[in-house]
Amino acid sequence: MTEAVKKTLAASHRAAIDGIVMLENKNGALPLRNGESAAVFGRSQIDYNAGGTGSGGLVNTEYQTDILSSLEKSDVEVNRTLAAFYRDWVSKNPVSTDGGTCSSRPLSQKEPQIDEELMKKVSAESETAIVVIGRSAGEEHDSVNAPGGFLLTEDETELLKAARGHFKKLIVLLNVPSVIDMGFVGEIGPDAVLYIWQGGQEGGAAAAEALCRASPSGRLTDTIALSYADYPSSEGFDAKDRIYYNEDIFVGYRYFETFCPEKVLYPFGFGLSYTDFEISCRAAVFAEQNISLTVDVKNIGAAPGREIVQIYAEPPKSKMPRPKRSLVEFAKTKTLAPGETQTLRIKFPLSRLKYYDDKNSEQRIDGGEYKLIIGKNIRDKSCSVRMKLSKDIIKKRGRLAAPKEPFRRLIGFDGGPIYEDAPTAQGGKSGAAGGKTKRKAFSGIARPRKYKFEDVKSGGITLDEFVDAVSDKDLACLCRGEGMGSKLVRPGTGAAFGGVSKGLQKLGIPCAAATDGPSGLRFDNGDKAALAPIGTMLACTWDIELIEEIYSCIGGEMIENDIDMLLGPGLNIHRNPLCGRNFEYYSEDPYISGAAAAAALRGLESRGVCGTLKHIAANNREEGRKGLDTVLSERALREIYLRPLEYAMELSEPKAIMTAYNGLNGEMCGSNYELITEIIRGEFGFSGMVMTDWWAFLGPCSASSTKNSAAMLRAGGDIYMVTKNSEKNSGGDNTLKELKSGNLSSDELRRAAKNILKLIINIVIRD
C-alpha cells in the first residue's frame, strides 16, 4: 500500500465517522458502554456495502473493514453465539452479483432466518441488539419502491420486531446508498437509528467507532418524508421515454417546507450527537454585495462534539412562487469540549438570494425584507436576523434551453397541488445550434506542420498559431477520446485523450489519462486504490475542508498512477430517493452540492491534476438514461439543476465538464447549444473542456446517434468520449463529413481543439 493510499484512507476514516447521521437516540442508548454486551444482526455486519455499483464505486481495494470485526476489537462484548452463526451462514451464502457486471448487483441480499430458539438464547446473553440493514444501487440500476429496495422486506421487519421484543435496547444501522422508507421507526420504536451510509474501505471501522465513543456529527442533506408517495417527483419517475419535472423548483425541502411540512419525518439538515449545542448570533453586517454574521456556538452537553451552523433565507413576497426558505451558507465547528464556545465568522455574497423569473427572462433579487434563520437544521430557529434591500436587482437573460411545448408545473398548494403552464421556448426552437455560427468551406488540404506542441508551452508560439498548422483530419481525431482501457495510457483506465494518433504524437501532443471516479480510482485491470466514502456521506459531514483534503489525497494517488483527470465529482441533484446514482451525488440542495463539488476540485487541483464536473444537466434517473428526454422549465433548470454547477464555478476554477446522457427539452445534453454555449460558456463564463459521457447519443432526442459528433461540436462541446480507436474513427463519427459539406465550420473544430489542448497544457505538461 502506497503512502498516498494511506493518506486517503486516514482522511476517509474521519469522514466516515463525521458523515454518520444519527436520527434517534432515546434514553441514552448510545454510545455503547465499555463491556456492554451487544448482539449484531444482519449480513451487512460482515458483507458491508462500502460503495455503490458502477463506475462511481467499483474500486479495487487492499482490504475492507466490516462492522462485526471492528466491534470485536472495541470495548464492547460482542455476542459470540450470534457472530458465529452469521459467519457460518454468510460463508455458505455468498453475496449475489447477478452475473457480476458493474451495475447488476441486487438492491438487497438474502438474509438468514433467526428462529425463536436462537433469538431467546442470544437475548439471554446480551441486552442490546444491533440490526444492520443493507442496500445497494448504482449506475443503470435505480432502486424501486418495493420491499428490498426503498421499503424493508417482510423478513427485515419481522427481525426488527423480534429484536424489539427480546432485547432491552434496539439500535438500527442503515448501510445504504440513499435514504429509504423510515416507517419502521414509528411502528417498531428502536432506541437509536443511524444512517451509516456506505463509508468506503474504512466504513465498517468508522461505524463501530461511532457506536462506542466518537460522537456522530453528520446532518441530513436530504429530507426524509413519511412515505415515498409524499415526494413530489414520485409520480412519473418511471416514465419510459419522456419524464416531466412537474414539481418545478419545489424539490426536497423546498417542496415540503413550503407546502407540506406535515409530511416530513426528518427535516433537511437534521441530526443528533452525543451532546448538545447552543447557537447565538452576536453580530450581522449587511454590505452592498456581502452578508457577514458572527455566530457563537457553545457545547452545553456532557460530551465533546461538533455542530453545524446552517443559515436559511426567507424571501419577501414575490410575483413568482418562491420556496419558504432556502440554504444560503453553513459552517462546522471544531470539536468542542463540554462548556467550550467557538466564534464563527460567516460571510456569503448577496447573490445567494437570487432566483429566476422565466416569464420575463430575468435573474432577480427582489427588494424588501429578508429573514435569515440561523440554526441546527431547516426547522431550528436558534436565532434570526432581518435585512432589507431597498430595490430590486435585475439582470436580463435570454430564454434558453426552455421546453418546446407547454406542460404543467407546480406553483402552489391549496388542499391539493396548483399548476400552471410552464413558459416555452420562443418560436418553439430546440436546443441545437441551428445556424448560429458562420460556416467555412473545407479545403481538403492538410495544413503544413510547422510547430511542436512544446513550443506553445514555452511561449514560442500561440495556441492559435499551433492549431492553425494542424490538419483537419488530426483535429477531428483530437476531438475523440479513446477507451476503455486504451493502451496509450496507464493500463486499466477509463480513457485517453490528446495524442491519440500518430499524427498528433508527431506534433508532440501527449496523451492524458482519465479514470473513474468520485469515490476513488477505478482500474479495470484489478490494480488497487483507496475507496473513500460515497458522495452523500461526504456531504453529510458538512465539512468542506475535510472534503478538500480527501480529494487532495486522491490527487496524490493520481500522480502515483500517472492519471491526469478524475471523472468526478458528481453534482446532480437528489430529485428522487430511487435514483441509482444518488450515492455519487451530494444532496437535494444546490448550494451544498456545489460547495462540496468545488472542494473536491480544489483538492485535486492542489496536486496539479483535475476533476470533471458531471453530469450536466438533470441526470436524475438511471433506467433508460441514454434515451430519456427530460422536460423541465427554464426556471427549474437554472435554480435547481444548473445551480450546483454555477456554485462550483463561483467557489473553484473547474477545467472540465461532462455532459449527461439524457436529453434536455428535446435535445440530447451533449449537443445542446443553448445549454453548453449560451448558458454554461456564455452566462457562466466557463472556458474549459466539455466532454460527453461515454458512448453518449447526440442530436435531437427523436433522432439521436452516437455518430453525430458534428452536433456536439456545433453546440460548443469539445470531445466525444469514447471510441475504441481514435485514429481509425472506429465509432464512425461524422466530423469530417459535416466539415466538408459546410454543416460544421472550421472555427468550431478549432475552438474544440484549443479547449482540449489548453487542458492538456495544465494537467499533463507540468513544470
List, by residue number, the catalytic residues: 693
Separation of alpha carbons 447 and 745, rounded Å = 16
Q: Find the radius of gyration of the CA atoms of the chain.
A: 26
C-alpha 412/C-alpha 319 separation (Å) is 12
| Rounded-to-integer distance, Cα 659 and Cα 650, Å | 19
> Cα–Cα distance between 684 and 718 in angstroms, integer?
17
Q: Quote the CA–CA distance of 23 and 29 in Å, as a whole number.
A: 12
Distance CA 758, CA 624 (A): 34
Instruction: Show the 3-state SS of 624-666.
Output: CHHHCEEECCHHHHHHHHCHHHHHHHHHCCCCEEEECCCEECC
CA distances to 320, 699, 712 from 429, in Å: 25, 14, 17
Is 521 in contact with 499 (CB distance < 8 Å)?
Answer: no
Spell out the residues 6+ positions from residue 597 whose beta carbon is closer than 8 angstroms to its own. Answer: 569, 570, 571, 586, 613, 644, 647, 648, 652
Residue 687: CB atoms within 10 Å: 12
As beta bridge partners, residue 380 has none
Q: How many CB atoms lie within 10 A of CB 713?
A: 30
738: helix, strand or coil: helix
Provide the β-strand partners of residue 130.
40, 171
Burial 358-390 (b: 16+ CB within 10 A, else e): beebebbbbeeebebbbbbbbbbebbebebebe
Cβ within 8 Å of residue 148, ≥6 positions away: 106, 107, 108
Cβ–Cβ under 8 Å, residues 537 and 199: yes
Asked if residues 519 and 51 have their Cβ atoms less than 8 Å apart, the reply is yes
- The three-state secondary structure class of 129 is strand
For residues 34 and 172, the answer to whether their CB atoms sit within 8 Å is no
Q: Angle at Cα 294 formed by Cα 290 and Cα 298, nearest 5°?
A: 150
How far is the C-alpha of 721 from the C-alpha of 663, rounded, in Å? 17
Whether 515 and 609 have beta carbons less than 8 Å apart is answered as no
